[in-house]
Chains A and B, each alone.
Chain A
């Protein structure tokens, strides 16, 4: 049933479909993006070539490029997108700040810094040590940003949090550049820890997928508590929710998911900002639906951005972090410019 909805002064026609159907539509979108991602590259494969590569692989050029290059990067984008989307949704929920996200708050850069700092001394790391370092770095950055962001009395004004986050991001990015330049690493590795790309993460994904699972389980467990906390901490307490415990679980999920995403794809900013805004439009304010929807919308956005990066810079390609920033920065401006930063 079509319905007119007055939304922030503009009139939008929304399709009133039930929420499971909308989630299914989102998942079909993800599937479409995956197919497109396997299809489009520096050369575009035909449908026959794709089927051939997927079901009866031989060592033809098309088979190898699809199985060895496009499939791994697609899976990496799916996993990193889900992690960042859910992390962004949780952060915006807990801070009630519509412009918070792990990239802008310096959590992703903190994770990248921890990895780079150890890797420049010890040489290349295995996925698990790398992931543990990323979790440690993300945790330290999160504690610093949330700690300093709350100095001004109440739970941190949106602007204070973002500015402290920007400073921590700049600081970590500066040190990462220094370390990378000093270790005279190849330009490829340099770009990876500065911008974020999904080209190298498949190996890490095969080892680290339990972390993604853990993060999403924590997020789902956190969803009901977050619903109660949205009503205010006093109401939440009367509903039997301990605010402190809920915040710790939420922060834990954010750290696990951000650390995982950074280990796979480097520090990607703005994705965690976009996803919650998209899913709130589709699902309203119920976090029991927002979390799974973010786990579908994040991959959709990241895979699409990755495809766009391959098309925009042919015959080379654009790191996905740059594409997401080109889309996300104007949206950030749009949200920041609205009359008042509405709490979510």
Chain B
């Protein structure tokens, strides 16, 4: 019964995600009929121009949104499971902001030092973002590892590191020659505007691979979700399993940030919403991925297509996600009073 419910919700979410994707591709400067989008994706474009628009401009952007959503959604589900804390998600914990700070640090560095190999700015960006994200994640988890990860201390320390990384990012944006306001916005708020196939690079493969890995680690996740004494009693190497799952989550969050910048609240909301929809005890990975993808697609539709100016998707995820955080916090504290 429970499995069946979970299966049906997954199917429904997949259908919603597909519809959102097609709407996301079809809405734009010149609207394309959803039917045409569908046939083009199947390789039978009605005309040359539609094919070019979709394959070269619309699709990379939509894929960027989907991948960022999947990456953040799964990363959120994994960290929430390990920390047994619905508020512990990579965006609250500063991992996405750390990755953004790393990327911007590289940009500031390469714009000031001349004579560097050209490849550095292309291949260096994911590496710098990874270093920044790992550094932030390492700092947060190392600072609270001696106590329980469930405590609100994890969330508070994460918020502090997150604020620090955001401040460092704005500092380095003034150091480097980021004359391009769009680029600055990407790294401050998160956006998929103007994403191209070159920008995506190998990131979609990383995200799908890591998400799959996270989904396969079902046993580890279920044991980690028990309280630490029970998990240890079952003979689990707790620290090792925690590190592995958190590592996968961190890589997912960083890859998503490389694609779309530090989108706020996607990881936080997706994991939790997926858990409520599927009615499971721990956030299910597949559902979280789908909810994340839907969230980013819709947020980008609202931000980029509602107004005359194309807004970054991060603005919409912040405005939608913030009330959700309030709801989560109040819900949590009410539960605690009852207990």
Contacts and interface: CB of A to CB of B under 8 A. Distances in A.
Please indicate whether A and B come from the same complex rather than being unrelated chains: yes
Interface string B131-161: 0000000000001100000001101110111
Contact of A174 (B181, B322, B326): B322
Contacts of B264: 170, 174
A184 B170 CA distance: 20
Interface stretch (A62-70, A160-168, A238-246): A160-168
A333 to B, nearest CB: 4
Interface residues of A, number: 44
A7 interface: no
A318 B175 CA distance: 9
A151 to B, nearest CB: 5
B316 to A, nearest CB: 8
Interface in A138-185: 148, 151-153, 157, 159-160, 162-164, 166-168, 170-171, 173-175, 177-178, 181-182, 184
B155 A325 contact: no
Interface stretch (B35-43, B112-120, B329-337): B329-337
Contacts of B325: 163, 166-167, 170
Interface residues of B, number: 44
B334 A170 contact: no
B318 interface: yes
A26 interface: no
Contacts of A332: 156, 159-160, 163
* Chain B interface helix/strand/loop/mixed: helix
A249 interface: no
Given A163-B155, A336-B156, A313 B329 contact: no
Given A151-B333, A178-B311, A171 B323 contact: yes
A333 B323 contact: no
B155 A312 contact: no
Contacts of A318: 171, 174
A300 B319 CA distance: 35
A181 B304 CA distance: 12
A273 to B, nearest CB: 10
A116 B10 CA distance: 42
B157 A333 contact: yes
Contacts of A174: 264, 315-316, 318-319, 322
A297 B259 CA distance: 43
B174 A313 contact: yes
* Chain A interface helix/strand/loop/mixed: helix
B319 A152 contact: no
Contacts, number: 125
Contacts of B265: 170
Interface string B304-328: 0001110110011011011101100
Contact of B175 (A160, A167, A313): A313
A328 B326 CA distance: 24
B155 A159 contact: yes
B164 interface: yes
A170 B318 contact: yes
B189 interface: yes
B318 A171 contact: yes
Given A167-B325, A167-B329, A325-B167, A159 B174 contact: no
A337 B144 contact: yes
B159 A162 contact: yes
A325 B166 contact: yes
A175 B319 contact: yes
A187 interface: yes
Nearest to B152: A159
A157 to B, nearest CB: 7
B329 A322 contact: no
Contacts of B231: none
A326 B172 CA distance: 12
Contacts of A316: 174
A330 interface: yes
B160 A329 contact: yes
B171 A151 contact: no
A339 to B, nearest CB: 8
Contact of B163 (A182, A187, A270, A313): A270
Nearest to B320: A174
B238 interface: no
B329 A326 contact: no
Given A171-B318, A171-B323, A178-B319, A325 B330 contact: no
A175 B170 CA distance: 19
9 contacts: A153-B337, A160-B333, A163-B329, A171-B323, A174-B315, A178-B311, A187-B181, A333-B143, A333-B164
Interface of B: 87, 143-144, 152-153, 155-157, 159-161, 163-164, 166-168, 170-171, 174-175, 181, 189, 264-265, 307-309, 311-312, 315-316, 318-319, 321-323, 325-326, 329-330, 333-334, 336-337
Given A148-B326, A326-B164, 17 more contacts: A151-B330, A153-B337, A159-B155, A166-B325, A167-B323, A168-B322, A170-B318, A171-B323, A174-B319, A174-B322, A177-B189, A181-B311, A182-B311, A322-B170, A325-B166, A326-B167, A332-B159
